[in-house]
Structure formats: structure tokens, C-alpha cells
């Protein structure tokens, strides 16, 4: 199947019988190989007549995904959108009706993507933005483990496909060379203390170039393309994620959190560090020395007292 959409963007025909030199083409701004949405530009010579500038874009289509995803239930029911406000919001609405476990909502662009505590999540074209629904029969207190499981699935997806070794920053950030490449948002729907559905949202920066990120996050955000210099197929990443998540989720349901916890610790960059944790109650400092069985961060303060932190922003 052809994965690329090719568009002729411009033609540079000789007017006076002289070929345009590479320098002249560069001046026209047409040899920069990537644009901010991750499209690739390629020059094609047209015999003796000049050049055509071809824009190549990887196709982001439902068909490419559903025909080849290798899972039993994650991503088997999918809703693809060009533009939505937030895939998380659509997933939440879907849970109001009968919805199958593993149902996924995917968008090429979000106009109102959200992080934790309703913070803005920049979701321009070039990234991978999706939410999916799982219905585990687990105690509500252990639900944060699913954020950590998802982080391990993202790390394994990237490591499997690319020469990169992402790190996890507790609880929900994936970093490449110290910069955030992915954020995870886990939201619960529960009745009478029982989980009805967990909605997991993943935002992964794939092919955005530097200018695509707004000024306020440019220094701390990155994309896979920025770290590798390559254009990466978002659909391959998505398929890889579905496979990795499903494997880990089955392991989790059968054998509990311990093995996932071990994998998580191997990729975590927070443990062993002096950190500052900002919670909604205030700020605390200490050494992050592990995670609890529920997935809470364990922090040892200077006086030796141990804190269990369930939700915070971590610096350090």
C-alpha cells in the first residue's frame, strides 16, 4: 500500500536556458527538507527543463490503521477525526452509552487539547493525539497504576521502532534528552466506588518541527522527528502502541502490577533524585526513592519522614 501522498508544490523552469543552481533553489526556500508539520520536500529533476518541488506526506488514515493493527481489542473499534476539540472529551461522551473496551478516538489535530488540571495541551498537526477506553475490574485506589503502565507502553513503542531511549518522569511525562515528547492523561468514571471506565489520553509529538511549538514550551518540548532528524509514520507508532499496551494490560490483569512496576523503574528518571513536588496542598522537597504498589511517588524528606504523593508536578 502506498503510504505517501505526493503533491507537486512548485516547478522551477529554466527561463534562459540555464539550470537553477542549488544555491538559487535554497534562496527560494525550497531545499529545507522538513516543514513544521513534518512534510518532506524533495526536488525532482525534469529532464533538461528544470525542477519540480514535491511535497510528501505520510497518509494519516483510518484504513491504514484498521487493516493492520495486531490486537484483540485495543484499537479494534476506532473513530478517526481530522480536527476535534479533544479526543478525551469525545471518549468521555462515548462512555455514557455502551462502548466496547479498547474503543479509541484519534485526531490529526485538536483545537482544545487538555492536560491535567485542565492545562492546555498543544495539539497541532504532526503529532499523534488519541484517547481510549478500558474497563478493568480493579480497586479504584490502584487506578494510577494504569498511567504508569501506559508510560511503559509508550517507551516500549518508541524503543521498538526507533534508535531512542525515552525516560519516564513520574507520573505522566515521557522525555527524550530531557524534553517532554509525550503526556498521558488518565481519567476515571466510577459509581459507588467501582470503576466503570478509565479513559486514557496520550499526546505524542511525532513530526512537529521547532517552530510548531508555541514560545512558552519551545525549550521544554520536543518531537520524535526533532530528536532523530527523520520523518516518522504516526500510524506505525499508533499500531505499535496498541500492541504494547494490550500485552502489558493483559499481564497486569493476570499477574498484578509488580512486573509493570519493574519495567517502569528501569525507564524512570525521577527515582534517586532530589526533587520538588508541587501538589495542590503545597510544595515539598525530598529524595524520590521509589513508587508504592499503588503507583504513588515515595519521597523522603530531610528529617527522614516519608511522604506518599499521588498527584504532583515534579521539578529537579
The footprint of ligand BT5 (CB under 6 A) covers 86-88, 110, 113-116, 119-123, 129-131, 172, 180, 183-185, 201-203, 205, 217, 221
Judge whether 25 and 61 are in contact, CB under 8 Å.
no
Report the nearest approach of ligand BT5 to the CB of residue 143 (Å): 16
Q: What angle (nearest 5°) sits at the alpha carbon of residue 247, between those of residues 71 and 58?
A: 50
CB within 8 Å of 254: residues ≥ 6 apart: none
Name the DSSP class of 180. E
Q: Which residue's CB atom is positioned nearest to ligand BT5?
A: 183
Report the nearest approach of ligand BT5 to the CB of residue 285 (Å): 20
Q: Whose Cβ is closer to ligand BT5: residue 112's or residue 293's?
A: 112
Q: Whose Cβ is closer to ligand BT5: residue 3's or residue 311's?
A: 311
Report the nearest approach of ligand BT5 to the CB of residue 63 (Å): 21
Judge whether 78 and 103 are in contact, CB under 8 Å.
yes
**CA distances in angstroms from 143 to 39, 92, 103, 148, 296, listed in the order given:** 38, 17, 18, 10, 11
Q: Encode 223-258: b = buried (16+ Cβ within 10 Å), e = exposed.
A: bbbbbeeebbbbbbbbbbbbbbbbebbebbeeeebe
Give the position of cell 478516538: 105
Report the nearest approach of ligand BT5 to the CB of residue 86 (Å): 3
Report the nearest approach of ligand BT5 to the CB of residue 83 (Å): 13
Q: Whose Cβ is closer to ligand BT5: residue 102's or residue 113's?
A: 113
Q: Whose Cβ is closer to ligand BT5: residue 201's or residue 286's?
A: 201
Report the nearest approach of ligand BT5 to the CB of residue 280 (Å): 13
Q: Whose Cβ is closer to ligand BT5: residue 43's or residue 296's?
A: 296
Q: Whose Cβ is closer to ligand BT5: residue 119's or residue 165's?
A: 119
**CA distances in angstroms from 258 to 14, 145, 153, 158, 224, listed in the order given:** 67, 10, 15, 22, 29
CB within 8 Å of 141: residues ≥ 6 apart: 294
Amino acid at each position: 500500500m502506498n503510504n505517501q501522498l505526493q503533491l507537486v508544490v512548485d516547478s522551477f523552469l529554466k527561463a534562459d536556458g540555464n539550470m537553477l543552481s542549488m544555491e538559487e533553489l535554497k534562496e527560494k526556500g525550497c531545499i529545507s527538507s522538513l516543514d513544521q508539520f513534518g512534510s518532506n520536500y524533495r526536488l525532482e529533476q525534469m529532464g533538461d527543463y528544470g525542477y519540480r518541488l514535491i511535497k510528501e506526506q505520510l497518509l494519516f488514515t483510518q484504513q491504514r490503521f484498521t487493516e493492520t493493527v495486531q490486537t484483540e481489542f485495543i484499537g479494534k473499534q476506532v473513530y478517526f477525526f481530522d480536527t476535534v476539540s479533544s479526543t478525551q472529551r469525545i471518549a468521555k461522551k462515548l462512555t455514557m452509552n455502551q462502548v466496547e473496551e479498547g474503543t479509541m478516538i484519534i485526531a490529526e489535530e485538536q483545537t482544545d487539547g487538555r492536560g491535567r488540571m485542565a492545562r492546555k495541551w498543544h495539539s497541532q498537526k504532526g503529532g499523534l493525539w488519541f484517547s481510549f477506553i478500558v474497563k478493568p475490574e480493579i480497586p479504584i485506589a490502584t487506578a494510577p497504576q494504569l498511567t504508569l503502565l501506559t508510560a511503559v507502553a509508550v517507551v516500549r513503542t518508541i524503543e521498538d521502532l526507533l534508535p531512542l531511549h525515552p525516560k519516564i518522569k513520574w507520573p505522566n511525562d515521557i522525555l527524550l534528552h530531557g524534553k517532554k515528547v509525550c503526556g498521558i492523561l488518565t481519567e476515571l468514571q466510577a459509581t459507588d466506588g467501582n470503576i466503570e471506565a478509565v479513559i486514557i489520553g496520550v499526546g505524542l509529538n511525532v513530526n512537529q518541527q521547532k517552530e510548531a511549538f508555541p514560545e512558552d514550551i519551545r525549550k521544554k518540548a520536543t518531537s520524535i522527528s526533532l530528536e532523530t532528524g527523520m520523518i516518522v509514520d504516526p500510524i506505525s507508532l499508533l499500531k505499535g502502541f496498541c500492541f504494547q499496551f494490550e500485552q502489558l494490560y493483559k499481564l497486569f490483569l493476570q499477574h498484578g502490577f509488580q512486573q509493570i512496576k519493574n519495567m517502569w523503574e528501569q525507564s524512570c528518571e525521577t527515582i534517586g533524585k532530589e526533587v520538588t513536588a508541587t501538589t495542590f496542598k503545597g510544595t515539598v522537597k525530598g529524595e524520590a526513592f521509589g513508587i508504592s504498589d499503588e503507583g504513588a511517588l515515595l519521597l523522603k524528606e530531610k528529617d527522614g519522614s516519608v511522604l506518599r504523593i499521588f498527584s504532583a508536578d515534579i521539578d529537579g
